[in-house]
Structure 1
Amino acid sequence: MPTLTRRHLIAAAAAAATTLALAACGDDDEGGGSSTNGAVSDADVQAALRKGGALTVWAWEPTLKQVVAEFQQAYPSVKVNLVNAGTGNDQYTALQNAIAAGSGIPDVAQLEYFALPQFALAKSVTDLSRFSAGSLKDRYTPGPWASVHSGDGVYGLPMDSGPMALFYNKQVLDSHGIAIPATWAEYLDAARRLHRADPKAYIINDTGDAGFTTSLIWQAGGKPYRVDGTDVTIDFTDPGSTEFVRVWSALISEKLLAPIASWSDQWFQGIGNGSIATLATGAWMPANFTSSAPSGAGKWRVAPLPQWQAGAGASAENGGSSLAIPEKTAAKTLAYGFIRYAAEGDGVQVRIDNGAFPATTAHLRSPEFLGAGFEYFGGQKANEIFARSAQQVVTGWSYLPFQVYANSVFNDTVGKAYVSSTTLADGLRAWQEQCARYGTEQGFTVK
Structure 2
Amino acid sequence: MPERAVLGNHRSSPYLNLTPDPHAVARHAVPEREFTMSRSFAGRSPISRRSFLSTAGAVSLGAALTACGGSGSSGSGSAAEQVGQADIDKALKTPTQLTFWTWVPDIQQEVALFQQKYPAVKVNVVNAGQGTPHYTKLRTALQAGSGAPDVAQIEYQYIPTFTITDSLLDLRPYGASALQNTFVDWTWGQVSGAKGEVWAIPQDTGPMGMLYREDIFHKYGIQVPTTWDEFAAAARKLHKADPNVYLTNLAASQPAAWHGLLWQAGAKPYATSGKSNIALKVDDSTSQKLASYWGGLVKEGVVSSDPDFTDAWFAALDKGKYATWLTAAWGPVFLSNSAKSTAGKWRAAPLPQWDPSAPKSGNWGGSTTAVIKSTKNRIAAAQFAQFLNTDPACTKLFTTKQFFFPATKALLTDPGFVGETPAFYGGQKVNQVFADVSKTVNTSFEWPPFLDQAVTDWTETVGKSLANKTDTVAALAQWQTRITAYAKNQGFTVQGS
Q: TM-score, normalised by structure 2?
A: 0.83
**Residue matched to 1:214:** 259
Change (3 A) 1:273 1:49: farther
CA–CA distance in structure 2, aligned partners of residues 374 and 90 of structure 1: 35
* Secondary structure of 1:323 counterpart: strand
Partners of 1:228 and 1:63 in 2: CA distance: 39
Residue 399 of structure 1: aligned partner: 447
- Relative to 1, partners in 2 of residues 1:361 and 1:21: Cα closer, same or farther, differing over 3 Å? farther
User: Could you tell me which residue of structure 2 aligns to residue 61 of structure 1?
Assistant: 104
Count of matched residue positions in the alignment of Structure 1 and Structure 2: 438
**In 1, are the aligned partners of 2:57 and 2:139 still within 8 Å (CA)?**
no
Structure 1 residue corresponding to 2:309, chosen from 259, 263, 268:
263
Q: How far, CA to CA, are the matches of 2:260 and 2:168 in structure 1?
A: 25
Residue 12 of structure 1 aligns to which amino acid in structure 2? A
What pairs up with 1:185-200 in 2 under 5 angstroms?
185-200=229-244
| In structure 2, distance between residues paired with 1:103 and 1:16 | 16
1:88/1:112 contact within 8 Å kept: no
CA distance in 1 between partners of 2:135 and 2:167 (Å): 12
Letter in 2 for 1:119: F
Counterpart residue number, 1:349: 396
**Which AA in structure 2 matches 1:205?**
N
- Preserved CA contact (<8 Å) 1:6 1:442: no
**2:371 paired residue number:** 325
Deviation per CA, 1:368-409: give whole Å up to 9, x if none: 222122222111111211111111112321111222321133
- The letter of the residue matching 1:406 is A
Could you say if the C-alpha distance between residues 419 and 36 of structure 1 is closer, same or farther in structure 2, counting changes exceeding 3 Å? closer
Task: State whether structure 2 residue 164 is matched by structure 1 residue 121.
Answer: yes
Shift of 1:310: 2.6
Identity of aligned residues (%): 37
Counterparts of 2:329 and 2:74, CA distance in 1: 34
Bigger Cα displacement from structure 2, 166-175 vs 75-84: 75-84
- State the superposition RMSD in angstroms: 2.3
> Once the 2 structures are TM-superposed, how far is the Cα of residue 42 of structure 1 from its aligned partner?
4.8
Paired position in structure 2 for 1:29: none
Q: Residues 71 and 36 of structure 1: is their aligned pair in 2 closer, same or farther, counting only changes over 3 Å?
A: closer
In the other structure, the counterpart of 2:329 is: 283
CA 1:21–1:145 in 2, change beyond 3 Å: closer, same or farther?
farther
Match of 1:426 in 2: 474
Distance in 1 of aligned mates of 2:332 and 2:60: 39
The more displaced of 91-100 and 68-77 is 68-77
2:427 match: 379
Could you tell me which runs of 5 or more consecutive residues in structure 1 were left unpaired when the two chains were aligned. 26-34
Matched, 1:202 2:242: no
Aligned equivalents of 2:128 and 2:457: distance in 1?
23
1:184 partner amino acid: W
Q: CA deviation at 1:18?
A: 5.8
Aligned mates of 1:342, 1:248 — CA distance in 2: 40
CA distance in 2, matches of 1:350, 1:18: 42
- Which range is displaced more, 413-422 or 164-173? 413-422
Equivalent of residue 226 in structure 1, options 252, 268, 271: 271
- State the Cα deviation string for residues 146-182 of structure 1 (Å, max 9, x = none): 1112322211111111111111111121111111110
Deviates more, 1:114-123 or 1:53-62: 53-62
Q: CA deviation at 1:202?
A: 1.5
Q: CA deviation at 1:132?
A: 3.1
1:330, 1:130 → 2: CA distance? Answer: 15
Alignment partner of 2:406 out of 349, 354, 358: 358
Q: CA deviation at 1:248?
A: 0.6
Q: What SS does the aligned partner of 2:114 have?
A: helix
Q: How far, CA to CA, are the matches of 2:88 and 2:60 in structure 1? A: 32
Secondary structure in structure 2 of the residue aligned to 1:301? strand
2:289 is aligned, of 235, 238, 243, to 243
**Against the structure 1 CA distance between its residues 426 and 39, is the aligned structure 2 distance closer, same or farther, given a 3 Å change threshold?**
same
User: In the TM superposition, what whole-angstrom CA distance separates every residue of 1:26-74 from its partner, at most 9, and x where no partner exists?
Assistant: xxxxxxxxx9975324553343333342222111123523212333333
Residues 344-377 of structure 1, C-alpha deviation per residue, up to 9 Å, x if partnerless?
2232111012211111111112222221222221
Deviates more, 1:69-78 or 1:201-210: 69-78
Secondary structure in 1 aligned to 2:157? coil
Question: What secondary structure does 2:337 align onto?
Answer: helix
Measure, in 2, the Cα distance between the counterparts of 1:266 and 1:401. 34
> CA offsets, 1:329-355, max 9 Å, x none?
212221112211211223211101221
User: 2:17 — aligned with what?
Assistant: none
In the TM superposition, 1:40-51 aligns within 5 A as 40-51=83-94
Q: In the alignment, which residue of structure 2 is the partner of 1:141? A: 184
- Aligned mates of 1:16, 1:106 — CA distance in 2: 19
Which shifted more, 397-406 or 320-329? 397-406
Q: Deviations over 1:281-329 (max 9, x none)?
A: 2112222122222222211110011101233211111111111111112
Q: Which moved more, 1:355-364 or 1:328-337?
A: 328-337
Deviations 1:221-249 (A, max 9, x none): 11122211121111234342132123112
Partner of 1:165: 209
Confirm or deny: 8 A CA contact 2:157 2:447 kept in the other structure.
yes
Could you say which residue in structure 2 is the equivalent of 1:409?
Answer: 457
Match of 1:31 in 2: none
Tell me which amino acid in the other structure corresponds to 2:141: A
**Cα–Cα, structure 1 residues 314 and 36, in superposed 2: closer, same or farther, change >3 Å?**
closer
Is the 2:58–2:139 Cα contact (8 Å) retained in structure 1?
A: no
Cα distance between partner residues in 2 of 1:383 and 1:42: 37
Q: Which amino acid aligns with 2:231?
A: Y
Shift of 1:203: 1.7
Q: In structure 2, give the amino acid aligned to 1:86.
A: G
| Cα 1:132–1:201 shift into 2, 3 Å | same
Q: Which amino acid aligns with 2:332?
A: P
Structure 2 match to 1:336? 382
Specify the SS of the correspondent of 2:134. helix
Q: What is the alpha-carbon distance in structure 2 between the residues aligned to residue 286 and residue 52 of structure 1?
A: 42
The AA in structure 2 aligned to 1:207 is: A
Q: List per-residue Cα deviations over 1:230-285 (Å, max 9, x = no partner).
A: 21111234342132123112122112333422222222222222112111121122
1:383–1:22 Cα change, 3 Å: farther
Letter in 2 for 1:10: G
Structure 2 runs not aligned, ≥5 long: 1-46
